[in-house]
Every structure is written in C-alpha cells, then in structure tokens.
Amino acid sequence: MNATSDILRGELERLFELDDMLRLSTELLGFEPDSVGSTTGKGAFARALVDHCAGEDALEALADAILISKGKGAGAGIAKALDAADGTELTPGSMVAGFRVTKRLGAGAVGVVYLADRKDDGENGEAAGPRRFALKVIKRQLSRDRTAVRRYLTAMRAMKSLSVTGMAEVAQVGMLDDGRPWVATEFVEGQTLAARVGRIGAMHFNEARGIVASVLVALRDLHAKGLVHADIKSDNVFMVRPEGKDGVRGDATGVLVDGAVDRLIARGSGLLAVSGTAKALDPELARGGAPTPASDLYAVGVLLYELLAGRPPFVGDNAIEVVAAHLSEEPSAPSTHAPKGWVLEALDAVVLQSLEKNPTDRFKDAADFLAAIETVARASRVPQKKGSLDEKAFDAAKEKLLGAPGDEDLAVNLERIAEPAGAWDKAAAVLGEAADSADDGEVKKALWFRVARIEENEREDAEAAEAAYLKVLEVDEDDEIAFIGIEEIKRQRNDMAGLVEVLLEKAEREEDVGSRADVLREIASIYDDKLDDAESAFVAYVQALSDEPRDERTQREVARLAASNADKWNEAISILSESAQEPDEDTDTVGLYVLMGRLYGEHLARPDFAIQCYGQALAVDPSSDAAYAGTAALYKKSQSWQELVTLLSGRADKEQNPAKARDIRAEAGEVVYKKMGDSKASGDLFMQILEEDPAHPLAADLLEEVYTEQKNWKDLAKLLDTRSHHEKGDA
C-alpha cells in the first residue's frame, strides 16, 4: 500500500465511525458498501474502501469526500495525502534502472528532479567512477493519459538517439512501477540563465551571444530531425564554461534541458489547453496551436531579450495578462531596459524581428536566426586602428565625465569615442579616475563595473578585471555581482587555489543550506582532484554533510577519504556534533543525529553512543522513521529483543495514524512470538489488532501460526472462517 493509501486509511479511522464511513461510500463516492468489502468493523471497512478506491482510480475522490464531510478537521492530513498522490518521493539510495538517487534537486509543474549517479564502464571495459545524472520523474497527474506518456517517451528516446550539440544528453528513459515516466539526462554543472539574470540582471551581448548561439545550434539539429523542444525559457538553459585540456575554462555557452513536455499536456482550443511558459509563449501557442519550430524560435527571441534587458519583453500581474500581451502588444526595444550603450540598434532589430506576431515575418529557421546574431557580432568587432583616436573629442569627453561622474550618458559617450580606435586602455583609465573622484558609492560601483567589463571583454585582461571587481568590493563588501565576476575569472584562468578562497567566502555568505552544501562539495572536489589535498577535501565534505546530512553522495565521499581511520571518523563526528548542538532554524538536527548514530555503529563499533544519537533524534522528532530503524537495527544485531519490543510499542503508542500503529504493534508481536517464544502474549496482541481490523494481513498470518503451534483448532477454524469472509468482501 502506498503513502496516499496509508494516510487516507488512517484519516478514515481517525475521523469517522463505521456508519459514517458507510454513508460516505454510498452518498459521496457512489460505491455500495457491500461491493466495497467487509462492513463488520471500522478498520476493516477503511482498508476495503481505500483498496476499492485505488482500484477505481478514485483515491483523490476519496480525499475530496473526506474533506467535504469533515471540513477543516481533515485539512492537514488530506493535504498530505494529496501531496503523496503525486507519487512516492524517491529517497536517497533508491535504485531506478541502475541509477542510484543521491538527493532531491527540486520540483516544478511537470515533475520532480533528483540527482543520481550510475557506474558506467570506462575505456577498455574497465570500471569508471560514477557519472552524475539528473533524473526527472513526471508527476502522476500528467502520467494518467497513457497515450500522452507514450508520445513523451517516444520523443525522449528519439532525442537519446541523436547527438545534439547544446542539449543535455538523454541517457535513459523508463517508467516506475506506479506508471510515472522518468528521464535520466546528463547532469549539467552550472546555473540556469533564470538564476543568472535573477542575481545579476542584464547580460552584455558579448557574453550572451555564445549562450544563445549554442541554443540555436541545438534547435537547428533538433528541427532537422522533425522534433521541437516546446519549452525554451531561461529556467531550461544552463550557463556553462567548458574546460579545455589545459584546465582553462572557455567562453560561456548554453545547454538546453527538458524538451518534449508538450506531449504530456492535452491541447485544444482555449487558454487552459495551452502548453508552454507564459513569458515565452508564441502567439500561435497562446491560441491553442501545436508547438512548431517557429514557436521554438520565438521563445529564443524572448530568451535573448531577457538576457539583454534583464527582464522578459512582456510582464504582468498574472500569466493571463502576459499571454494577452504576446497576442496584442508590440514589445519595446531591449535597449529601452538594458544598461545604456549595451544594446546597439542592429541588435534591437534582430531581437524585435524574432518577436514578430506573424511567424512568416520572423527568421525562417534556426540557422537564419543564428546568422543574424553572428552578423551583429562581427559588426561590433571593430579592429584597433592606431592613431585613429579623436584625441580632442576624447579629452573633452574625459573632462565632462570627471566633472560629473554620476552622469551615465557621459560614460557611454566616452566609450563610444574610444571604440573605433580600440582605445580601451585609455577609456578604462578615465573611468577608474572618475570612479575614484565620485562621492556616491553607487556611482563608484557603476563606473568600476564598466572598467571590469572593458578589461574582461574588450582588453581580455583578467587580472585588471579582477582588480576592478575588488574596487567594487572596497565600496560594498557584500556586492554579489563583483564576487561572481571574480569567481568566473578564477575559473577561466584555472586558478584553483584562488577559486577555493573565493568559494570559501561564498560559502560563508550563503544563507541557503542546500546552496552552501553545493559550494562546499565543489571546494572539496577541487581540493581532492586539482590540489591533491585529501585532508582539506575531507573537512569540506564533512562540512557539507553538516548542512545536508542525508546526502548519500557526500556520505560516500567522506567514507572513501576516511576509510578505516578511526581518527577521521571521530573528527567527522566532532564536526557534525558541533552543528547539531548549535542549530539554527535551517539545521537538519534529526538528520545529523541519525547520521552520527550510523557512523558510531558502522565505523567505530560503539553501539552505546549510536543508541544515544538515535535517542537525541527521537527527542527532536518522535516520528523519525530513520531513528527508529537505526535503533531497531542495533537491537536486532545485539539480539536485545525486549528492548526492541519496548521501542516498537512506544512508537505505536505515539503514532497518530491508527492503521500504521496496528502495523507497528504487529511487528512487535512478531518479535515477541518468533524471537522471545511467547506465543500467549503475542497471540493476545494479534487478537487485539484483529478486533480493530479483522483483515490485517500480518496479524492474521501470525495468529494462524500461533493457533497451529498451540493446536488450538477451534480458534484456528474461527480465524480462517473470518479471514475467508473478509477476503471475499462479505459483511
């Protein structure tokens, strides 16, 4: 029985008497009780009704019926059941067709994404290290249309057979036992463009060009095979900097993920049948049309606009307003919203052509769009002409800027005068001088950012660009954009020691525990793979576990580096213990104590300390399954059966779900009977369970064994007769 069924069965028993359940079945669900199953007891009918609803695909209807009958009193429990109806979460360690789940990355409207790894063969058939994948499991409500699911999986298999540059490689597709489809793609290291724009804002064309070009190359190949992506947006494009053989990272490119989801969404006329994202919705899609190559290219136009302007072409208070704007309004030029001087007229024209309402007025295909972008890029690359600088105009522009450093138009004018001659060194020097003379902090920052952009993109002087970013930090020590700029420079220069210093500062600033753990894992990886510093790598991985103690991949890295060294394990526990004893509101205290309990038990042979850690976890969360499981495993290993029974009995007493409490008591009874040899005490416990739920399978099976052992044929016959009636669904 799945989580949804367990919760609903418990809520039925908690909120209803038998007569109320019978009326709910008849009046709200339309199921005659006699056709549902046993009506002799509350527990038995709750089980039968849930099983019947599961068979009729009516579990959500049952949840609605409970809410209608009991209102707010059922709110929290039913909300939990409906959440579970989307499908059971994959827990760390779960295996899906050879992929081992390590953590949950996030969820969206279509599905839940997990980080997973798989051991693949290396060269010459030798075992290689595990590769990382993004495993996306589609939500249950999008999995019910089997025709749509088959179309989606067919499209993903087609993408798997292709080698499309600029798209995350599809490794494997399949379906879970409960019917939900899943897709495993290569895990892309990097940040989404949505995250990049959200944190920093507009992007200069010199940086955006390579990213959008990568997306267009991917679409060119995809469209040539008769496929469309159908959900291009900044959330589905990752910004990456490929690492060369020398370890130096190149220019930013884009990697496209999550294609073909339109096949999971029914289409027809009207807004509710539309597939896609409101901010990037082609007018034809907004009218209910099918995704086409033209709608993909329109979405790329929206993407380019968002990168250049720091916002999409149309915004509104809700999705309907945005869709209406795509249908009826003309977008303003991206230069209207971009930093002054960043978007030239020719680039405005390319973006606006890509957003024409009529597809025939846009670029004819991805190659045509790409050619237009490259034409603008070539035109912007003006070679230096020594001696061609208009010195008089430049000096006049310099004098004006130094007199009014806060006037952005004057800074733009200075750059325009310097550009034809490629006199970027002089422009950067004047902008820096103006920044030093400015009194306002924001003005200083804006000018130093201009210097950094010139040094990085025009002069390609990474050291000078880093110095400019450091000037920004002198003004504002918390400026996120400057930190990111320095981080990117360290990556491009393959300065691993410097990158670690930057990332350590980043980890200190990061408030989100998941993001901080990601940074610490990257630090550990650099120490281990690039700097040959296993000791520092070990500490960084353990610090990551302090933030995410349930992350299996990090646990394995710690185990690899600690091996059988008891001092290492004690060091790890010391770091974890410090986090557990000084928690903040985001600390996973239960996870920390459970992890420490496991480390004590598995690596230090200290079950006494392990029991204490599990006890601390239960003190924080009395319902922690992991803490109970860890404690139970230790009691079983040491054959401490009475302690195990006491543990299970206490857990059953605290369990609010009556059905789950019976399951736990049945487990305790099994220990009493099979391990402690007390058939009388266990038999009494099984009978108590069966009085509440005559169809309880484990209690009935074990009581049958007890009666057989006792040669109590009379009660055995009665038990078998009762079981027969319930299995047939008799009253």
pLDDT (tens digit, 9 = 90+) per residue, 183-231?
A: 999 999 888 899 888 877 888 898 899 999 999 999 999 999 888 998 8
Exposure string over 544-576, b if 16+ CB within 10 A, otherwise e? bbbbbbbbbbbbebbbebbeeeeebbebbbeeb
User: What's the pLDDT score for residue 272?
Assistant: 34
386 has pLDDT over 70: no
Average confidence (pLDDT) over 30-58: 87
User: Among 122-131, 405-414, 559-568, whose mean pLDDT is lowest?
Assistant: 122-131
**Percentage of residues in the chain having pLDDT higher than 90:** 58
Tell me the range of 78-92, 210-224, 479-493 where mean pLDDT is highest. 210-224
d(CA 629, CA 644): 11
Chain mean pLDDT for the chain: 88
Taking the alpha carbons of 625, 630, 632, 633 in that order, is the dihedral positive or negative?
Answer: positive
Question: Checking DSSP bridges between strand 253-256 and strand 127-138, what pairing results, if any?
Answer: unpaired
Average confidence (pLDDT) over 94-119: 88
Q: What is the pLDDT of residues 175-192, one digit of tens each?
A: 998 888 999 999 998 888
User: What's the pLDDT score for residue 571?
Assistant: 97
336-340: long-range contacts (C-beta < 8 A, 24 or more apart)? 336/309, 337/202, 337/309, 337/310, 337/311, 338/202, 338/308, 338/309, 338/310, 339/202, 340/408, 340/409, 340/412
d(CA 117, CA 248): 26
User: What's the pLDDT score for residue 144?
Assistant: 78
Tell me 168's DSSP state. P
Tell me 637's DSSP state. H
Which helix or strand (DSSP H or E) is residue 185 part of? Answer: strand 181-186
User: What's the pLDDT score for residue 79?
Assistant: 67
Q: What is the DSSP string of 71-114?
A: GGGGHHHHHHHHHHHT-PPPPTT-EETTEEEEEEEEE-SSEEEE
Average confidence (pLDDT) over 358-374: 95
User: What's the pLDDT score for residue 549?
Assistant: 95
Identify which has the larger pLDDT, 272 or 305.
305
Average confidence (pLDDT) over 42-67: 88
User: What's the pLDDT score for residue 148?
Assistant: 85
Average confidence (pLDDT) over 128-134: 80
Nearest to 112 by CA among 121, 126, 101, 124: 101
Tell me the range of 82-91, 276-285, 288-297, 434-443 where mean pLDDT is highest. 434-443
Identify which has the larger pLDDT, 328 or 264.
328
Which helix or strand (DSSP H or E) is residue 601 part of? Answer: helix 589-603
Which helix or strand (DSSP H or E) is residue 63 part of? Answer: helix 59-70
385 has pLDDT over 50: no
- Edge-to-edge strand order for the sheet containing 237-240? 191-192, 237-240, 253-256
d(CA 278, CA 266): 16
Identify which has the larger pLDDT, 142 or 706.
706
127 has pLDDT over 80: no
Identify which has the larger pLDDT, 247 or 253.
253
Nearest to 307 by CA among 255, 366, 351: 351
Q: What is the DSSP string of 344-402?
A: -HHHHHHHHHHT-SSGGGS-SSHHHHHHHHHHHHHHH-PPP-TT-S-HHHHHHHHHHHH
The pTM is what? 0.77
Taking the alpha carbons of 656, 659, 665, 667 in that order, is the dihedral positive or negative?
Answer: negative
d(CA 519, CA 512): 11
Average confidence (pLDDT) over 159-168: 86
Q: How confident is the model at residue 534 (pLDDT cuts 50, 70, 90)?
A: very high
Q: How confident is the model at residue 271 (pLDDT cuts 50, 70, 90)?
A: very low
Q: What is the pLDDT of residues 280-307, one digit of tens each?
A: 888 988 888 889 999 999 999 999 999 9
Average confidence (pLDDT) over 524-543: 96
Q: What is the pLDDT of residues 609-633, one digit of tens each?
A: 999 999 999 999 988 999 999 999 9
User: What's the pLDDT score for residue 268?
Assistant: 41
User: What's the pLDDT score for residue 387?
Assistant: 56
User: What's the pLDDT score for residue 128?
Assistant: 56
User: What's the pLDDT score for residue 480?
Assistant: 86
163 has pLDDT over 90: no
276 has pLDDT over 60: no
User: What's the pLDDT score for residue 264?
Assistant: 76
